[in-house]
Amino acid sequence: MSARLRIVGGTVHDPANGIDGEVRDICIEDGRITAGLPDGAPTLDARGMIVMAGGVDIHSHLASSSCNHARRLLPEEHSADPTPAPALLDGAAAPRSGTGGTVPTTFTNGYRYAGLGYTTVFDAAVAPVMARHSHAELEDTPCVDGGFFALMGNDEYLLRQVAAGERERARDYAAWLLGSTGAYAIKIVNPGGVEAWKSGQRNLNGLDEPLATHGVTPRAILETLTDAANQLGLPHPVHIHCNNLGLRGNVAVTLASMQALAGRRAHFTHVQFHSYGGPGWSSGAVPIIEYVNAHAELSIDVGQVMFGPATTITADGPVEYLLHKSSGRKWVNIDIELETGCGIVPLLYKDKAAVSALQWAIGLELFLLSRDPWRVVLSTDHPNGGSFLSYPALIQLLMDRNVREEKLKQVNPKLLAGSALADGLTREYTLNEIAIITRAGPARLLGLRQKGHLGAGADADVTVYAEDADIAQMFATPRYVIKGGTLVVEEGQLRRAPVGRRLHVRPGYDDALLPDLKRYFDSYSTVAFENYAVQGIPDDPIPTSS
């Protein structure tokens, strides 16, 4: 196909450029959006259709060794959801079959994300030592640009630096680790709590409860890595999964974590799982979202629970133990040498189950009470709160009050007394707000200047939806999807599957770190220092601002 394309006559929603439903042409040349094209350039007729930038998923689990453990755990999902190879056009990359379920195979992930109009996806939790595995999976995940966040909140070398008060050394180590693994951002999961689980202390329950092994507190880990990300000028700030995920009363530690980082740029993830009142099950969404609304330096993704099958995949070992015990479902639990942990438990969120209904309501409360869609963006923490395939149904719940209220009548009301949703939330998201929470906002939070918008110079990632009164149907079946200038979905069918770009950073650091780090590797690590760094990471790193 030609390197030029004019998308003609669509109704454009491009909030990053102040365009809210204007009929205008979008021009593409050599993989980028351009201000104009000469007459006679090839055209794509988008009259009567909605045009947005490609979707950007800020928090998913799709390309990691833990996802692969989850695939092994779920053979029944593979046989229930075979995915034949798509009918790609002649000359395009060889199509691949696979399987779906809550944790699809690599190629199926790429095809299905593209089929939803998503063109950029991040895996939010990769053990640094397993980075090669993630790069290999991303290589086999077509149609999307991808990257991952490196787990650091329970890392042995990091904990030693925090214990010694060596915060600059900790920052240099974080920079080295990002560059050595080809990661994009710093991820913290249950700061200190995973190390507590691995060392027999079981968990840490408050910000100031020290790790018995290191004397380090969650507060010190949060401060150290938040400052590291900001001082290194990383495009995305530190990405935080707080302590006490999923536990009653965890709203206290979530708020304390936000307050501990007051004034510092930070992203808190899947906040629904961290917004529970106590001591009985209740919604704690209101104080959390009011705090977020009042603090412009903070951003969150919601981690909405959608009813249906899910698979929890997390570095948070202790919470997976509790889930396994309470659900009786099969599970995986793995300690990862020196760095982190991993737990996996499949789940079914039922609308008739009181806790599932509460979780569903809390996520919606966070969305509907948010005052700044640029800082409160969409996720289901795929596949933890539900598959990414449920995004269209979630968008419908946000845009259509009637659909939401009908669903509310069907769910178990036992724990919803006093929740803002049960009291009635009339807000309906506009198409522009949906464009913000699914592409423009995540791209901005990730520091991806060429993503999430349709201004000149942006990557030519474009999704065209045929208008439909059924909002879920409209967002589930885009008519056209263009990835980096390539027409990937044509007339609703996947036709091409280009290799995506790798999104990673390589911040600078003081190499006085290296002799000490090498001694540490020689003393404690199974992997030799010389063999640790990933070689041959494709594509140039995204620049840092320091």
Which parts of this chain interact with Zn ion (CB under 5 A)?
124, 381
User: H-type helices in 295-447, by residue range?
Assistant: 317-327, 354-369, 391-399, 401-410, 420-423, 431-435, 441-445
| Closer to Zn ion by Cβ: residue 226 or 312 | 312
- The residue (of 122 and 521) whose beta carbon lies closer to Zn ion is 122
State the minimum distance, in angstroms, from the CB of residue 312 to Zn ion.
9
Q: Measured from the CB of residue 257, what is the shortest distance to Zn ion in angstroms? A: 16
Phi and psi at 279, nearest 5°, equal -75, -25
**124/347 with CB nearer Zn ion:** 124
Phi then psi for 262, rounded to 5 degrees? Answer: -50, 135
Least distance in angstroms from the C-beta of 73 to Zn ion:
17
Rounded Cα–Cα distance for residues 425 and 289 (Å): 14
Task: State how far the Cα of 102 lies from the Cα of 77, in Å rounded to an integer.
Answer: 8
What DSSP designation does 440 have?
Answer: I
Q: Which two tokens stand for residue 492?
A: 């609703």
- The residue (of 11 and 66) whose beta carbon lies closer to Zn ion is 66
Partners of residue 149 on adjacent β-strands: 185
* Helix, strand, or coil (residue 441): helix
The 10 Å Cβ neighbour count of residue 327 is 14
Q: Which is nearer to Zn ion, 158 or 188 (CB)?
A: 188
C-beta of residue 477 within 8 angstroms of C-beta of residue 491: no
For residue 336, the minimal CB distance to Zn ion (Å) is 16
Interatomic CA distance for residues 23 and 415, integer angstroms: 46
In 3D space, the residue among 93, 91, 92, 115 whose CA is nearest the CA of residue 104 turns out to be: 115
Query: Residue 140 CB, nearest distance to Zn ion (Å)?
Result: 21
Q: Is 145 or 381 the residue whose CB approaches Zn ion more closely?
A: 381
Alpha carbon dihedral 437, 316, 175, 118, in 10-degree steps, equals: -30
Q: In angstroms, what is the minimal distance from the CB of 478 to Zn ion?
A: 25
Q: In whole angstroms, what is the distance from residue 322 CA to residue 345 CA?
A: 10
Question: CB-wise, 385 or 484, nearer to Zn ion?
Answer: 385
* CA separation, residue 142 to residues 42, 95, 263, 410, 499 (Å): 25, 10, 39, 38, 5
Judge contact between 210 and 163, C-beta under 8 A: no
CB of 352 to Zn ion, least distance (A): 26
HSE value, Cβ hemisphere, 13 Å, CA-based, for 247: 20
Closest distance of CB 58 from Zn ion, Å: 10
Answer for the pair 122, 148: CB distance below 8 angstroms, yes or no: yes
What is the nearest approach in angstroms of Zn ion to the Cβ of residue 245?
A: 10
Q: Which is nearer to Zn ion, 149 or 276 (CB)?
A: 149
Minimum Å gap between C-beta 218 and Zn ion is 18
Alpha-carbon radius of gyration of the chain: 22
Contact criterion met (CB below 8 Å) for 174 and 207: no
* Smaller CB separation from Zn ion, 269 or 419: 269
Looking at beta carbons only, is 138 or 458 nearer to Zn ion? 138
Dist CA 521 CA 312 (whole Å): 32
Residue 281: DSSP 8-state: S
Nearer to Zn ion, 62 or 286 (CB): 62
Residue number closest to Zn ion, CB atom = 381
CB of 238 to Zn ion, least distance (A): 14
